[in-house]
Amino acid sequence: MKNSIRITGGILKGKMIPFDHRKTLRPTSSKLREILFNWVQFDIYDYECLDLFAGTGALGIEAISRGANKTVFIELNKKNYLQIKSLIKELGIDNKSMVLFKDCMNWIKLNDLSKFDLIFLDPPFNNNLEMKTLEILSNNKSLKPSCKIYLEFSKFSKIELPISFKILKEKNLGDVKALFLKYEN
């Protein structure tokens, strides 16, 4: 069954992002995306973003819509990957996007992350992927000191942040908790 979410701001405001409803695919709500982009509204211009566990691509697409220079989307589900590639072409933002069909946890272990200003981390809930991914990020010595991380997880999960991350902002909305983190090496 096809559903869709709306881009909430920027040059693509009002455009729709279609997705198939599945338990494993849970797009960030419009309300949370608005909150996140209010947090970064004065900084997003010219940001290089990394959308891990990209899913629908909503976070990375919204970032481009609101002025980010580029987003790298990483998605391991083939159907989601193909949907993001198609949508990016349809929206005309392929010159500001790179979509990779990869396991993002392996990718962030092996790649230089120094160009990224903002990382979106919204993995499938209840698999402890948040903690595993944050550990990998904190161990990647190329992460720039000013890098911000948006983390979304089930408010019922117990999250213990690595000491290299400081909470700048947080928000609870329904069953979801969102943290806006700063990396401090």
Sign of CA dihedral 158, 142, 105, 93: positive
CA distance 47 to 100: 19
Residue 176: predicted pLDDT: 86
CA distance 60 to 87: 12
Q: Where are the domains of the chain?
A: 2-183
Res. 24 pLDDT band, cuts 50 70 90: low
Q: What is the pLDDT of residues 156-172, one digit of tens each?
A: 888 888 888 999 999 88
Greatest C-alpha distance within the chain: 44
CATH class name, domain 2-183: alpha beta
pTM: 0.91
